[in-house]
Structure 1
């Protein structure tokens, strides 16, 4: 076929729908300059797409090519930006190549030497499946996309062997498949150096692999485990797909390549413990996840560890329609460093930044800091220390994160305290940001109360710090982990999907770093679900699609409660509940769909149909019931940024059934209509997220009840605040010597030499909620739109954006800082290269599209006119 014919066919194929560019929030997402992931239309072949690129004068090199995804990752050398690439015939979607942080493996728990860390399988029925049903995952393949695996670890050894091996280097290797896509020195910014050896030099991937398929029950070689333990599927075959170096980040085109290789090598399940920040489902890994699952695979992905950042924080790959977003429940036991105070021993968790054991003199004493009303202070205001002698002492503060954005640790340090302990709220031990140069740790809520009581009895009591970690029965054990990210997603879909043990999990680690450790995170919960898939497939002697297994797991999960609560935790926190693999295998009933999205009051789905199927051999009668769950209020104090820990309220929906009891013959399905009414309690102006569970209970003895979660938002979601106006955002400021300052009166910004300008304009933004399109628009003095702001530091100011995190590692308030050097991107420019506007006065407008709207400007946007600024730019060179 001639090139002209090819291009004609491509043009015809794209007349119906042009390609779409998916801009990112470049203020909060790291990306590779000039690199793009491009998805072709379904009927377009790779060579035809490349011909089309060349015909449109795109100069590029290929980073990766994808088959199932049907596309490529390119480095573009000709200056074409994403919008221009999306207009080329044959293109379906275009994304920037973004970078994912290496999964965190806390150093403070590397020495797992205590003999009493306890297995978690009794929480999920896996212990019964191992002992009674002899299920081990044999014959199932699970691909782990992570930091690699220390395949020499004895916990991965075949029966009778002293150490494990990798498939390409030995016989009977359990880690049989895999590839190193990057090399040790890769950090996301440099060139990958792939090879065939996926050895782990970080630890995270090895820990994940041990949860899935490690066997440390009878290890007699050094290093020995602190206690014998076994993974979920100890005879599963593993593929190790290494996408991270020893440090740094990884590009998502590398992750896509790993996903495709896992598919090509026959993996039945993929685990991706790679949760990032708040995201939309239109990200490339989620798109490929749906394609792979539609071809018969299953995929488990971590929901994220930002539970103390509040709602709207579920991440990345698990947002796919068919994938499984996994949240975490705490183990009943934890492995922590500790201190002794008032005759009792208490565990603590060092801050993310400090990240090591606290070692202070044994004569340090405690000083709780109080507000005027006698309550424990959060330590966010300097004046709370007025009149207090904290010199050389340890401060105890309250862990409220709804307003403490300036770093309580630095305030305590300036007051003279040698360390700060923060009482977690509401329960558990939730790590905080802290400072790299200051001892900062969190303690359980009950610990804080007991310490205050001991201090009142004897203020001179001293604190003695442990030399090594040990095991504690933990607050919140068996309940949703405080650290797990909260939903919903940007389109009010019910995410996360399901929970698994992820808090305080003993597993394998790199041999160079001790071989074993205890870690916490949804990174630990996700592989548990991946291993559970293997047991289910083995039990059924079949390999259903991942979304089908997800439905069974969700139908049969154990609905959990927050620690000390008699009500059920929100489905936006726990999904359908803690996986019960035994019940999933034994059930003879299913409910479809596996979740119900009621959306908001404006789009409220009053009537929903569910299907109940009896897979058993006999007729079964089911009784339908409704169990409401806690509502989450994140905007109860006129705040414009969601609370770090939402207020729990009894805002319950009501449900009526077209039939409250139904008899279903064997093999048949019955449809039931559910009629919902929004909660009477709860203010629509505060946008509470409510949820609950619809349960079908069989009347037969030993029958497994099944359920489906629902979620909704009371109020109009389009009125949920986008910008944090309470904190003064968005705002038009000036940047001088890297500091943000007020713009001096009558300022004309001299941007003729932007790199050396003493003063440049800055637009400060703080998004507290998803937006389908975040924009900074520039108008001239006649109110004519001239383009979208372009910043040399952050790039283009338009495109979808998830919300920002509450605080940084240092406890500082997170916001986006857009410097402006006088450049804009215009719709009229086909390549969308930034152009410099002429000298003059310009009006700056920040506009964020509201959720569930069409995107008509300005009606569907939250609009802030930041006023006018005057700039002087270099004149455009005369054309020769």
Structure 2
């Protein structure tokens, strides 16, 4: 749709300088072709901004208009790209509309009634908040931005009612607000079909809502819960904002519309258990999120489930300065189906593509060994050659360096196996994608070790699978979840902020799906934090904005150790620690800021002032102390560019000196204390160890609540951290022939761009403020930045790439090139086509914390020349 130009209005307006285009920050990111989120300059009226687009002959249709976020989502029908739109006066920022999948979680339907599975509230003090303080979240509104909510579920019924309801359909309904933005058939690529009914047909959103405020303590109707349980805040009022269809993805444009509606409906808290790839905080959801928090809301967002990928992987939605990024801890107990081997029952977690108990008839178990006798990862199909696995359950190692569970499952199925068990490393029950139609499941590390030992003594020992679920003390329970993503972000900011129970969580799912399921993910930890905010607001009889409450929860969190460890887990993994709601509502002390970013050696912030405040009714004396945490070494080999998937734990501890180690503060007063940091003596700066710890202030009065603040830093020069993945031969250049096969470029080859397509391949091992592909002519004169028909202009911020996709394929960026370039990396006209000739291709990535002067501040790779 073209919006008619109102020339008089346009002439009267004073339009400011052009804005910035933000290309996609990760090659995995799927997007809507021609779809853009536009943020206008603060003082530009909406109609003037639209007229400015029209004046440049941009043919577009408005997908969504926003009010709090001064901008719009559009679909462009003309050939204008994001760079063209950013050039238009009055535009501040432009982003492609990216697609976000329904988060992957572990799921398992159970039948036992063991009450220990609901022990998660004992980990956080919520059990005592319910019993002693009688807090339930009543009067607080929580918006669930997700797949919708099954509002008919009895766990969402008002007191005295047998079933839940939606306010548009009944009275006294706990789901009082909501909207379906998309319809059942929406998958992110087709046209949304919105309506007023936010019923959940997928399940994720209902599970999230149950954690926030479900109440399944006294349900008598069928289906009954496997055991009684209650959410964090069982009397909150819900808003259900459905942004996903029954399957598929959702676009930024829809998600942002839901965020704004939640605010306009009066939600106090919004829960965004979405997740995404690594990024910078300048993504549109994070920008709008900070705007909403600044207006008084709370935004809780999932930190992501990329723990197996190593550092720099915390997810994008929660990267705002004011939002809360939530990591996960495993519940102490979990209900699982099991396999019995050698007289011992071990829990297992089915892969997502299997999603049900394994029902293999009694048979034998066969560990797949490498030639050296070690347990194989199952990625090499040739190891099955000559091995009889027909009808047997195969056991492999869960090291995902070479391939993922889909490839392992396919190899086992082709060999004739009946099922595949994958031993988790280093511990716990991993969430697996699996291979469609074939039973794949993860088992605990210890279970794998014991199974191998039994096999070596008695190879014919039978293996059996249970028909029902049982309660197990979970390996890794009460500690940071293995799947939970590591920080920091691309600017060395301290993310995630906080942790909550997210592993092995029993909650609600739609009645049509059985009513109740156990799931794991930061998707489950995030609503726990959202519910905790509701309890805090009710306790304080006020509604502070999100970053204020975040500070209280971070101050009072329980600093935890990794499973089996005696030292504290890195703040890059657990943030400030495991949320403790009882301590948060009873503390009379605060310490701010709520995190300390020491940056790297070159930019080291050695002296930091913190403010310690006594909110109590009498004077208090505090003792200040330092608790060091594990350092993470992701680069032990200086010749390697790709960070370790599981960082090495080191005792590289910083030291802290206090301007006052003891301080007495009168009631209602505050004191500033200077913290003088010294970087760790241990640890090689060339390995860039990520060190962290906690500064603690302990009151002297009996029963006083100690408060703490986490700090993080990097030893070494962050500008020297490898950016491009040279370990596997990136960046590189070649061409695709007519059958799309990749070929090396023969010496002296001249391209016919009508038949052959030159391509540049890149793969990032770390964030970069500006990844460029530069083109030079035969005289070494800069000709422009490569413009790709599939990826657009090759410049801009980029997040770190993950290693493999769910099918085990290596992830990288492919830039197809038909001789087009753009002249500048700021704003540009329509890409131009270079004349025939010979051109050099240079891939350059700006090093972190540099000014961006080329080539001094870049990691540069000259890939040679192309002739066409």
TM-score (norm 1): 0.94
1:826 matched residue in structure 2 = 823
RMSD over aligned Cα atoms: 2.2
Within 2, Cα distance between the matches of 1:355 and 1:507?
16
Shift in Å at residue 595 of structure 1?
0.1
- The answer to whether the 8 A contact 1:764-1:818 is kept is yes
Shift in Å at residue 175 of structure 1?
0.5
**Greater CA deviation, 855-864 or 276-285?**
855-864
Cα separation, partners in 2 of 1:842 and 1:462, compared to 1, 3 Å: farther
Among 841, 846, 851, which residue is 1:849 paired with? Answer: 846
Within 2, Cα distance between the matches of 1:335 and 1:306?
24
Within 2, Cα distance between the matches of 1:456 and 1:71?
65
Shift in Å at residue 382 of structure 1?
6.0
- The answer to whether the 8 A contact 2:37-2:72 is kept is yes
2:660 matched residue in structure 1 = 659
Within 1, Cα distance between the matches of 2:137 and 2:293?
19
1:330 matched residue in structure 2 = 330
Within 1, Cα distance between the matches of 2:827 and 2:848?
29
- The answer to whether the 8 A contact 1:369-1:395 is kept is no
- The answer to whether the 8 A contact 1:402-1:645 is kept is no
Unaligned runs of at least 5 residues, structure 1: 872-880
Cα separation, partners in 2 of 1:606 and 1:105, compared to 1, 3 Å: closer
Cα separation, partners in 2 of 1:586 and 1:778, compared to 1, 3 Å: same
1:769 matched residue in structure 2 = 766
1:92 matched residue in structure 2 = 92
Following superposition of structure 1 onto structure 2, how do residues 397-412 of structure 1 map, counting pairs within 5 Å? 397-404=396-403, 407-410=407-410
SS, match of residue 749 in structure 1:
coil
- The answer to whether the 8 A contact 1:27-1:818 is kept is no
Shift in Å at residue 417 of structure 1?
4.9
Following superposition of structure 1 onto structure 2, how do residues 618-637 of structure 1 map, counting pairs within 5 Å? 618-637=618-637
- The answer to whether the 8 A contact 2:328-2:521 is kept is yes
Matched, 1:240 2:240: yes
Within 1, Cα distance between the matches of 2:138 and 2:456?
58
Within 1, Cα distance between the matches of 2:303 and 2:867?
45
Cα separation, partners in 2 of 1:816 and 1:53, compared to 1, 3 Å: closer
Q: Summarize deviations over 1:611-668 as a string: whole Å, max 9, x none.
A: 0000001000000000000111111133211111111111111111111111011111
TM-score (norm 2): 0.95
Matched, 1:203 2:203: yes
1:277 matched residue in structure 2 = 277
Q: Summarize deviations over 1:810-845 as a string: whole Å, max 9, x none.
A: 223222222323333333997643333333322211
- The answer to whether the 8 A contact 1:32-1:189 is kept is yes
**Greater CA deviation, 599-608 or 457-466?**
457-466
Shift in Å at residue 389 of structure 1?
5.4
- The answer to whether the 8 A contact 2:785-2:825 is kept is no
Within 1, Cα distance between the matches of 2:825 and 2:400?
45
- The answer to whether the 8 A contact 1:338-1:346 is kept is yes
1:182 matched residue in structure 2 = 182
1:584 matched residue in structure 2 = 584
Matched, 1:43 2:7: no
1:644 matched residue in structure 2 = 645
Q: How many corresponding residue pairs?
A: 860
Shift in Å at residue 432 of structure 1?
3.7
Q: Summarize deviations over 1:190-222 as a string: whole Å, max 9, x none.
A: 111111111111101101111111111111111
Following superposition of structure 1 onto structure 2, how do residues 15-414 of structure 1 map, counting pairs within 5 Å? 15=17, 18-25=18-25, 27-104=27-104, 106=106, 108-110=107-109, 114-116=113-115, 117-370=117-370, 372=372, 375-381=374-380, 390=389, 393-404=392-403, 407-410=407-410
Cα separation, partners in 2 of 1:416 and 1:601, compared to 1, 3 Å: farther
SS, match of residue 123 in structure 1:
helix
Cα separation, partners in 2 of 1:823 and 1:655, compared to 1, 3 Å: same
Shift in Å at residue 796 of structure 1?
2.9
**Greater CA deviation, 337-346 or 559-568?**
337-346
Within 2, Cα distance between the matches of 1:769 and 1:112?
44
1:692 matched residue in structure 2 = 693
Cα separation, partners in 2 of 1:433 and 1:798, compared to 1, 3 Å: farther
1:669 matched residue in structure 2 = 670
1:722 matched residue in structure 2 = 723
SS, match of residue 54 in structure 1:
helix
Within 1, Cα distance between the matches of 2:521 and 2:195?
29
Matched, 1:10 2:11: no
- The answer to whether the 8 A contact 2:39-2:69 is kept is yes
**Greater CA deviation, 725-734 or 237-246?**
725-734
- The answer to whether the 8 A contact 1:105-1:203 is kept is no
**Greater CA deviation, 561-570 or 116-125?**
116-125
Within 1, Cα distance between the matches of 2:101 and 2:519?
17
**Greater CA deviation, 59-68 or 836-845?**
836-845
- The answer to whether the 8 A contact 2:13-2:48 is kept is no
2:529 matched residue in structure 1 = 529
Q: Summarize deviations over 1:738-770 as a string: whole Å, max 9, x none.
A: 333333444333222xxxx3x432222211111
- The answer to whether the 8 A contact 1:353-1:809 is kept is no
Shift in Å at residue 79 of structure 1?
2.5
Unaligned runs of at least 5 residues, structure 2: none
- The answer to whether the 8 A contact 1:140-1:268 is kept is yes
- The answer to whether the 8 A contact 1:223-1:511 is kept is yes
Cα separation, partners in 2 of 1:119 and 1:318, compared to 1, 3 Å: same
- The answer to whether the 8 A contact 1:730-1:765 is kept is yes
Within 2, Cα distance between the matches of 1:609 and 1:839?
60
Within 1, Cα distance between the matches of 2:316 and 2:159?
38
Shift in Å at residue 377 of structure 1?
3.9
SS, match of residue 500 in structure 1:
strand
Matched, 1:544 2:561: no
SS, match of residue 537 in structure 2:
helix
- The answer to whether the 8 A contact 2:404-2:806 is kept is no
SS, match of residue 212 in structure 1:
helix
Cα separation, partners in 2 of 1:524 and 1:26, compared to 1, 3 Å: closer
Matched, 1:496 2:496: yes
- The answer to whether the 8 A contact 2:26-2:799 is kept is no
Within 2, Cα distance between the matches of 1:287 and 1:645?
31
1:877 matched residue in structure 2 = none
- The answer to whether the 8 A contact 1:592-1:611 is kept is yes
SS, match of residue 673 in structure 2:
strand
